[in-house]
Amino acid sequence: MPTSDLTTLQKLLITPQKIIITTHHKPDGDAMGSSLAMYHYLKQKGHQVHLITPTDYPNFLHWMPGNDDVIIYTESISKAHELLDESDLIFCLDFNALSRINDLGHYIKQVTAKKIMIDHHLEPEGFENYRLWDIRACATAELVYQFITEIMDDNRLINEIIATCLYVGIISDSGSFRFPNTRPVVHRIAADLMEKGAKNGEIHQLLFENSTEQRLRFLGFCLHEKLEIKPNLHTALITVSKNEIEAYKITTGDTEGIVNFALSIKDIKMAAFIVERSDMVKLSLRSIGDVPVNEICSKYFNGGGHKNAAGGNSTESLERTIQKFHSILPEFSAYLQ
């Protein structure tokens, strides 16, 4: 049974340990921000630490401190297995089910190292030995801040590098402090991180004003050609085929955030971005207020997430997936009035 009593873990961390940090498939700003912050913190404490991501991640995160040390599992499988075999502890950040990390999850399941899950998503699977789990947290980075400052009592060890990584995590998952998950404490943490050296303006610029020309033209194409609105159900969707992705030379991370443009339309309560990838169709759903997009994703699209931001996938064709999406809307019409 996983335990929330972290005093044993705290004691374990008094002596140097071999530690692996990992995070979810196609890591986003919170996944990388919280993982790199933990990486720099644990190294500072004298542990031997490696960060292994299940897959590659967006270019707009490559500037982050520690990026060059990241091991991408799909590119270094045997090295990753070796490190996992000899590890004492595995920190699992920003996910709570091993299925979210693909094949890496199967491997982690059978290694003997103790697992620590730090996460803010609903319905944890319970694979871990220790957990720091709170769905109120705006980001896993907020929980890593809590881990360092409260559980480890190490606020003074948060330097500019760690502060920057945590700040990236928080602004990525709170929509730069505008989503409802932004509790007052999030601003207090952000203020502390700025005092420790996180540069608000510079970080925003590196994350959000670093687009390639291709990506911006692709966004224009999505909004002009691919946006569909269902006014009666207050729903907007953008669907993109594999050919269109290839025509615009779209890479990991280039589609991130496009769904929010659809949600920004007046009176729209739910937005979907449905994209055909090489091995599956991926859905990203966002909503305002009570519309439970996590329920839609878990019930119909093998996924989950938060009430207002969730994702899933389908192994059916793009056309059939779009049809399915349309066909389930009436079930949620009470939320979409």
The residues that touch Mn ion, with contacts defined as CB under 5 A, are 30, 94, 140, 173
Beta-bridge partners for 130: 3, 116
Beta-bridge partners for 312: 283
Q: Are 80 and 71 in contact (CB under 8 A)?
A: yes
DSSP string, 76-130: -HHHHHHHHHT-SEEEEES--SGGGGHHHHHHHHHS-SEEEEEE--SS-----SE
Which stretch in 4-12, 59-67, 196-204, 303-311 sits in contact with ligand 5GP by CB under 6 A? 303-311
Measured from the Cβ of residue 109, the count of other Cβ atoms closer than 10 Å reads 10
Measured from the CB of residue 122, what is the shortest distance to ligand 5GP in angstroms?
9
Give me 284's structure tokens. Answer: 């990203």
| Secondary structure class of 159 (helix, strand, coil) | coil
Task: Report what 251 binds from ligand 5GP, Mn ion, none; CB cut-off 5-8 Å by kind.
Answer: none
Nearer to ligand 5GP, 54 or 312 (CB): 312
Residue from 162, 291, 309, 322 binding ligand 5GP (CB under 6 A): 309
Task: Report what 30 binds from ligand 5GP, Mn ion, none; CB cut-off 5-8 Å by kind.
Answer: Mn ion
Side-chain-facing half-sphere of 180: CA atoms under 13 Å:
10
Beta-bridge partners for 18: 48
311 in contact with ligand 5GP (CB under 6 A)? yes
306 in contact with ligand 5GP (CB under 6 A)? yes
Q: How far apart are CA 2 and CA 16, in angstroms?
A: 23
Which stretch in 33-41, 158-166, 229-237, 304-312 sits in contact with ligand 5GP by CB under 6 A? 304-312
255 in contact with ligand 5GP (CB under 6 A)? no
Measured from the CB of residue 193, what is the shortest distance to Mn ion in angstroms?
16
Task: Report what 284 binds from Mn ion, ligand 5GP, none; CB cut-off 5-8 Å by kind.
Answer: ligand 5GP
Nearer to Mn ion, 135 or 265 (CB): 135
54 in contact with ligand 5GP (CB under 6 A)? no
169 in contact with ligand 5GP (CB under 6 A)? no
| Secondary structure class of 182 (helix, strand, coil) | coil
Q: What are phi and psi of 317, to 5 degrees?
A: -65, 165
Amino acid identity for residue 189 in this structure: I
Nearer to ligand 5GP, 149 or 313 (CB): 313
Cβ-in-10-Å burial (0-12, 13-18, 19+) of 41 comes to: buried
Which stretch in 102-110, 161-169, 183-191, 302-310 sits in contact with ligand 5GP by CB under 6 A? 302-310
Residue list 86-115, contact with ligand 5GP (CB under 6 A): 100
Residue list 270-299, contact with ligand 5GP (CB under 6 A): 284
Judged by the rule CB under 6 A, the positions of this chain that interact with ligand 5GP are 100, 121, 284, 303-306, 309-313
